[in-house]
Amino acid sequence: MATSNPSVFLLTVNGQIEGANFPEFDNLYCKYCFVYGHDWTPTSGLEEGITQITCKGNQSSHKLIWNFPLETTFKSTSPCGWPQLVVSVYGPDVFGNDVVRGYGATHIPFTPGQHSRNIPMFVPEPSWRLQKFTSWLLGRRPEYTDPKVVAQGEGREVTRVRSQGFVTVSFHVMSKDMKKMGYDTGPSNPANTHPYSATSEEQL
């Protein structure tokens, strides 16, 4: 019944937050959550989570590795408000206060298959220099009222941010029934990429 006449399509996202590259910081952990539109509902898996604290190894790479699995399935009726993964990285500062080290967001890839994303991270800047000093002193860096702010465009113009490292995420995306509902996200196959050029050649 459902297969013949689906009213929702499913999007399964597996993958993991592999790690991060923050050259200046250590002992970081990461929070993630999904931001999605009204037409989306998570059906299984965790919508948000928090990783372990990791510190850099002695190897030359100096990468922070979390290898934190993501497993979520969404159901939806329309691609409007396609889910985004919002990650925010926290870690202790000099005085041991937990401060934010970066916010970042990426859309879940549209096409089924394996994808890897390198999310650039940023943090809001103090509005003026003295504040920067006091925030450092008090261990209260400016933070977004909600990490989900980074997944939307509204109101961002009032903030000022500094870029800060990268987080690497890998995705394995599967979708079901999308094509039946008329959304074609599949990779374009070579047979139908140039239908018109072939035709025109024939005519020539």
Partner 1 sequence: RLQRLKDRDAVTRFDREVNRTERHDAPLSLSTRVKFREAARRVRLKTRLQSWPPTAEEAYNFFTFNFEPDPQDKTEKTTRKIKKQGKKDEEDRDGEGESDEQEHNEEDEDKEDLFVIDQSSQDFLEVKKAEYIRYHKRAEKDRKLLFTPSFQTVQTSLKLPENIKPRYLEDEGLYVGERPPVSRTNENIMENRILKAEEKWFGDDGRILALPNPIKESSTRPPLFHMEEDLDSGLQTVYRKAVKSKYANLYIAGTTEPEGDYQLDVDVSGLIFSHHSLFSREHVLGSRLVQLYDQYLSRQNNNLTGHLTDKVAPTMNTVWRLSKYFGFLFLNVSKRTNNIPWYISFGCYRNTRQLRDGEQEKDRTLLKNIIKVWKEIKALRDFQKFTNTPYKLYLRRENVDRVSDEREYEREIMAEVVELEAEKEEEYQRKLAEYKKQLEEWKLWRKKQAQADAEDDDEDRDVSESEGPVEDGPSKPEPPEKPDLDSTEQGVREKASRIRRKPGEPILIPELSASGNITTSDVCPRPEVARREDVARRSLFIKILYNNKEVTRTVSRSLNSDFRVHFGQIFNLKIVNCPQSICLQVYEEIGSSCSLLAQVFVPVPEPSVLTGSGVIEEFEFSSNHRVMFDHEGVGSDVPLSLEADGSNKQILLTSGKVACCVSWGIGEDDVPLAPPVSQQPGGLHSGMGRFDAVSYIGASGLYDMKKIGEWATQSRLDPNDPNNASIMQLLQVASSGEVTAPDYFRLEQMQEEFNFVTDEELDSSKRFRLLKLRNQGVPEFRNYKMVPPFEREVTEKVFQEYEKRLKEGNIVDTKEHLDSHRALVATYLQKIRESVINRFLLAKHHYLLSDVVIEEEIPSIGILGINIFKLAEPKRPLKPQRKERKKVTAQNLSDGDIKLLVNIIRAYDIPVRRPQNNKPGQSSQSAIQSSDWILGQVQVRPFVEVSFQRTTLQTTTADGPNPSWSEELQLPFSAPNGDYSTSSLQSVKDEVFINIFDEMVDKDRGKSINTRIERHWLGSIKIPFSTIYSQSKIDGTFKVNTPAVLLGYSKERGNGGYDTWRLSEGTFITLFITIEPQLVPGEPVREKFDSQEDERLLQASERFEREASQSYPDRPCITTVIDLNGKTVFITRYIRPLNPPQELLDMFPNNPQEAMALVARFVSLIPSLPDRVAFSGTCDLWSTCDQFLTFLAGDEEEHAVLLCNYFLSMGKTPSLIIGTAIPEGPTAYVLTYEQNRYLIWNPSSGQYYSQYDTFCPLQTIGCLVTSDNVYFNIQQYTSPMRVSFDTGKANLWKPFFSRSFSNPGLSSVQPEQLVYRRIDKGAAAELQDRIEKILKEKIMEWRPRHPTRWNRYCTSTLKQFLPKLEMSGGQDLAEGHRHELQSLLGDHRISGFPLHLPFSEIRPIIEAVYSTGVHNVQASNVEFALAVYVHPYPSNVLSVWVYLASLIRM
Q: What does the binding site for partner 1 look like in residue numbers (CB under 8 A)?
A: 7-9, 38-41, 76-78, 80, 124, 126-127, 130-131, 134-135, 138, 140, 142-146, 149, 154-159, 181, 190-191, 195-196, 198-200, 202-203
Nearer Cβ to partner 1, position 9 or 171?
A: 9
Nearer to partner 1, 16 or 43 (CB): 43
Ramachandran angles phi, psi of 27, nearest 5°: 55, 55
Q: CA 182 to CA 94: how far, in whole Å?
A: 54
CA 32, chain centre distance (Å): 8
Q: Which amino acid is at 109?
A: P
Residue nearer to partner 1 on the CB measure, 168 or 175: 175
Residue number with CB closer to partner 1 (54 or 84): 84
Tokens of residue 92, six digits: 């202790």
> What is the Cα–Cα distance from 183 to 128, expressed in whole angstroms?
47
Contact 80, 39 (CB under 8 A): yes
Is residue 185 within 8 A of residue 175, CB to CB? The reply is: yes
Q: How far is the CB of 150 from partner 1 (least distance, A)?
A: 10
- DSSP lists the bridge partners of residue 88 as 31, 103
Nearest approach in angstroms of CB 69 to partner 1 is 27
Q: Quick check: helix, strand or coil at residue 133?
A: helix
Give the residue carrying structure tokens 């140039």. Answer: 194
CB-wise, 36 or 66, nearer to partner 1?
36
Q: Min. distance of Cβ 158 from partner 1 in angstroms?
A: 5
Q: How far is CA 86 from CA 23, 32, 194, in A?
A: 21, 6, 37
Nearer to partner 1, 115 or 132 (CB): 132
Closest separation between CB of residue 182 and partner 1, Å?
A: 8
Give the shortest CB-62-to-partner 1 separation in angstroms.
30
Q: Tell me the closest approach of the beta carbon of residue 9 to partner 1, in angstroms.
A: 8
